[in-house]
Each structure stands twice: as C-alpha cells, then as structure tokens.
Amino acid sequence: MAKMNNPVRDSFSGRLGIIAAAVGSAVGLGNIWRFPYVTGENGGGAFLLMYLLFVIAIGMPVMLAEFSVGRRAQRNALGSFKKLAPGKPWYLIGVMGIVASFLILAFYSTIAGWTLEYLFQAAGNSFAGKSSAELSASFDQFHTGTFRPLIWQIAFMVLTALIISSGVKRGIEKYTKILMPVLLLLILIVSIRSVTLPGAGEGLRFLFRPDFSAVGWNSVLVALGQAAFSLSIGMGTMITYGSYIRKETNLPVTAFQVSVADTIIAMLSGLMIFPAVFAYSIDPAAGPGLVFVVLPNIFSMMPGGYIFSVIFFMLLSIAALTSTVSILEVVVAYLSEELNMARRTATILGAASIGVLGIFATLSFGMLDDVTPFGRTFFEWFDYISANLLLPLGAILIALFVGWFMGRKVFNDEISSGGMFRVRVTGLFMFVLKFLAPLAIAIVFIYQLIGSS
C-alpha cells in the first residue's frame, strides 16, 4: 500500500548530496549581496553577533523542523501536511509555500538574469577602461531595457528547469555537488584578493568592529529577518528537500552543518565586498549598484581585474542557480505528487508559468516602471508579499505545527532516526519551536507590516 502511494521515490544518495543541495539553496543572492550590506548598516560586528545568535537559536531549529516534517511524510511541501494532519487546515502552510515559490522565483530570476548579463559582459572584458559614470549608465541602460533582461531571465529559468527535470539524484544532487565546492573556492579567491588590497583594513573594521551605538530594536529585527531568508526557511523548501533525505541521515547534524556553511559563506561575502569597496573609496550603501555598478568599477581598477570579474559573476550566477533550483523543486514536487504529473511536464508547466510572472518583475524596471498598483511595482509587490509576509508567517506556522501538533514523540523519533542517534537536546528544540521561534518571528512580522506600510 505504501508502495502504491509512493512509487520509487527519488532521494539524495547520501550525506554529501543533501548537504550540497541544502547549502546550495541557502546560499544565494541573499548572502552575497544582502548580508554584507545589512551588516554594514547595522553596526558591523554587533549585528554579526545577533545574526549568529538567530541562526543558531531560531533558524536552525526551524530548518530542523522542516526537515523532520518532510522526511516523516515523504511528500512535497503541501502533501506532507495532508499526510501528517489529514482533514486539518495545516496544509494551507503548503499552499502559502507554493504561492511564495512562484513570487520569489519570479523576482529572483530577474536579478539572476542580470548576473548572467554581467558574466557575459565580464567575459567580453567590457568593464575595462570605463569610468564610474559610464558603468553606471550602462547598468541603467541594461536593466531598464526590455529584450536583454528578459532574454537573460528566460535563459536562467531554462537552466533551472533543465537541472530540475533531471530529477533529485541525477539533477539537483549531481550539479550542486560540483557547483557548491566551486563556489566556495571562487569566494575564497576573490575575498583573499579583496582583503590584500592596499587600504582594505578600513573595510574589515567597518564589517567587524562592534558598533553598539548603531544597534537598535530595528537592527535586531533585521538580523532575524536576514537569518530566515538566508536559510531558505518558511516556504517548504527544506520540507521538500527533507523528504529526499534518507532515514540513516542525522537531521540535527545536517541542519547544523547547513546553517554553519550558509553563515560562513555570508561572512566570506562580506570579506569579499567591503575591503574592496573601502580600498577604492566607494559608498558601501550603494544598494543594488553595489554588485552591478560598483564591483565592475572595482574590477576595472584592480590588478587582474578581468579574471576576477569573470570569477565573481560566475559565482554569483552559480549561487543564484542552486537557490532557484530549490525554489522550483517546491512547485515541481507538488505538481508531480499531488496532481500526478510527469516530472518533465511539471517542470515545464511550473517554469513557464513562473516565467510569465517573471516578465512582469523584470519589466518593472523598464516599460512597466510606472505601473504601480497601491504604490509598488510588480517586482516590489512580489518581493514584499513573499519575503515580508509569506516567509515569516510560514516559519511561525511550521514551528507551531511541529511544536504543538506533531509533538515531541514524533519529532524526537524523526530527528533521532527512530533511536539510531541519541539526541540530547530535543527538549530545547521543542521549547524553541513551541514558544521562542513563533514569538520572535511574530515580532519581525508585525514590525514589517507596520514598518513598510
């Protein structure tokens, strides 16, 4: 009977596969652009301490909760709740997760498309000899255009779909196992280049000196929000990946390793960006321009800039790709398991419909920049609804589901792999999931609702 419900379910082949895939999901544009930027704005070292605290105290337990739901149920993000809580409305968490996947991928693929354009430009050595103003003008001309950004976005969606359609072991696992170590190596090379530039020390101080005067309530909340987004929690990505983890895999150790790897890559990204920004006297708060305008500028002035620019935009594309793969997998797993679609059909349908939504996100910077229903462009709406509303709400509900509904016995059974591993901190995890995580995230959620309306 179980076999009928669950015909030859694909899975990761082992520990390395799941680690590569989950780290691939967590590490993305959020780490490489957003983390250094918000850290710099919120007191550097002091912010870093809070971020680390939230990753360990809240992010990691919620990731573990997602893994445990997925592996217990052996289903997609929506089907998992239907199976574990039949006839109950908990499956709405899965519905929210799928909506969030559509919206996040629609705008994430816009920026991911930009990274391909910049990889292309870097490879063609087109930053060399250009002034700051010229580089900025060329970014404006590119990202407010129509065809070029759209073509790159579509190209990125096609790449994502190709990896997904090959399945879990021969697609996601095979590629992330190769891409993640390459990414780590590339980040190391560029950060070493960056910290050894003359004048890099100021950037290091900016990033690591704990400036407690810059830390207010707001910074605490920003740190919590960054931790959740960066770890890919709150929309069922880790439920879906959890469903592909074998019983012999130690879930708490996996959640710990993924969280540590994500944090290390975020910190290396800070080391890569800030020393270079300060060495060349550039404004660290340049926003999206930090990557697409300022870095080409830095590369054009840097010894060996050509090769470093190619490496940098390659790693940015890789980081984005292993994240978009995890987002599309949420949708594809749902379509193929709940609606009985073939994996290929599900991939084409999912990627195509998200692609259509993505057109609106991409054109928000150009042709549609004056279409702003209720004061936001399509891009800003997709971002706002998914990251600020659906993710925090999803994370609260997943914590509550595991803490109060699934309960300690089942949770403990799952995270100890049926007693195979001794888990001494189940009580602590339960406390976090029942009380600490929902409360803390609720504060962020309410703050963002009030703060940005």
Q: Helix or strand or coil: residue 44?
A: strand
Nearest to 60 by CA among 447, 449, 425, 385: 425
Cβ proximity to ligand PFF: between 42 and 230 the closer is 230
Nearest distance in Å: CB 306, ligand PFF:
27
Alpha helices in 339-436 (DSSP H): 343-363, 378-383, 391-400, 407-415, 426-431
By CB under 6 A, how many residues form the interface with ligand PFF? Answer: 15
Alpha carbons 126 and 148: distance in angstroms, whole number: 16
Alpha carbons 96 and 386: distance in angstroms, whole number: 9
Q: Does residue 270 interact with ligand PFF by CB under 6 A?
A: no
Q: Does residue 29 interact with ligand PFF by CB under 6 A?
A: yes
Which letter does DSSP use for residue 112 in this model? Answer: H
Which letter does DSSP use for residue 210 in this model? Answer: B
- Binding marks (x or -) toward ligand PFF, 170..209, rule CB under 6 A? ----------------------------------------
- Single out the residue of 21, 23, 26, 150 in contact with ligand PFF (rule: CB under 6 A): 26
Q: How many residues does the chain have?
A: 453
Nearest distance in Å: CB 318, ligand PFF:
12
Cβ proximity to ligand PFF: between 28 and 149 the closer is 28
Judged by CB under 6 A, the stretch of 15-23, 121-129, 194-202, 226-234 that binds ligand PFF is 226-234
- Binding marks (x or -) toward ligand PFF, 227..266, rule CB under 6 A? --xx-x--x-x-----------------------------
Q: Helix or strand or coil: residue 193?
A: helix
Angle subtended at Cα 203 by Cα 198 and Cα 207, rounded to the nearest 5 degrees: 155
Dig out the tokens for 286 from the structure.
């340049």
Nearest distance in Å: CB 52, ligand PFF:
16
Q: Does residue 326 interact with ligand PFF by CB under 6 A?
A: yes
Q: Does residue 109 interact with ligand PFF by CB under 6 A?
A: no
Let me know: does 112 contact 28? Beta carbons within 8 Å: no
Measured from the Cβ of residue 92, the count of other Cβ atoms closer than 10 Å reads 12
Judged by CB under 6 A, the stretch of 113-121, 274-282, 321-329, 444-452 that binds ligand PFF is 321-329
Interface residues with ligand PFF (CB under 6 A)?
A: 25-26, 28-31, 104, 229-230, 232, 235, 237, 323, 326-327
